[in-house]
Amino acid sequence: MPLILAALLAASAAAAPAKAPPKVPPADADTVKLVEYVLRTPTNELAPETVPPFLEIDPASLPERLRDRYSGKRVELETLAKLSEGKKKPFIRRLGNDAEARCDYEEDDGRKLGIYRSVGFEEIYEDEVVKLSDRTKCTTCEMQEEFTLRMLIVKKKGEKQPTKHYLLHAKDPLFAIVGAIRQGIGTGTNFFGVASGAQCH
């Protein structure tokens, strides 16, 4: 597993969000075989050298039967890398880092929402995001960059207005704070003890 995590951490910084152009050339046979291998192999048994090229694949180039499964596995691997990397960071994650955090909303027709949920993400509410920001001294964008917060704008067919969804992985240290918020627990020492490494400033 350490070799897999090392490969994930190396690849996740370079892997760009999947935003397919209108027309994408179909993946060649070797690429399809790589995807099929990664999809059928348990994460802890993956050959580390297969992870970076897997993360670089444009899902639009794949046969339709593989696209959603590919996207789910990609989210799973990128999230695993982020969680692992986060454990190595100090309690105050952005101490001395004045760079502006990147921020992004993903547009969705409902399929991505299902994909995120299938790999361990859970929905949190906007008022909880506000309270998270207050308690962790992280902006929403910093929670995206430092933790696993995802923001989706979902517009399903037939709906007039899109809806905004916030998702957080259940193993993210921020989720312990969400649980405390839901139970009405304050911000004392014991509170932050269950969420080590969950502050930005």
Q: What pLDDT digit, counting tens, does each position of 35-82 carry? A: 999 999 999 999 999 999 999 999 999 999 999 999 999 999 999 999
User: Cβ-count burial of 54 within 10 angstroms (0-12 exposed, 13-18 middle, 19+ buried)?
Assistant: buried
Check whether 189 has a pLDDT greater than 50.
no
pLDDT digits (tens, 9 = 90+) for 129-177: 999 999 999 999 999 999 999 999 998 888 888 999 999 999 999 999 9
Position 185 scores a pLDDT of 78
Of the listed ranges 8-22, 43-57, 108-122, 175-189, the least confidently predicted one is: 8-22
How far is CA 161 from each of CA 4, 73, 127, 156, rounded to the nearest angstrom? 41, 30, 20, 9
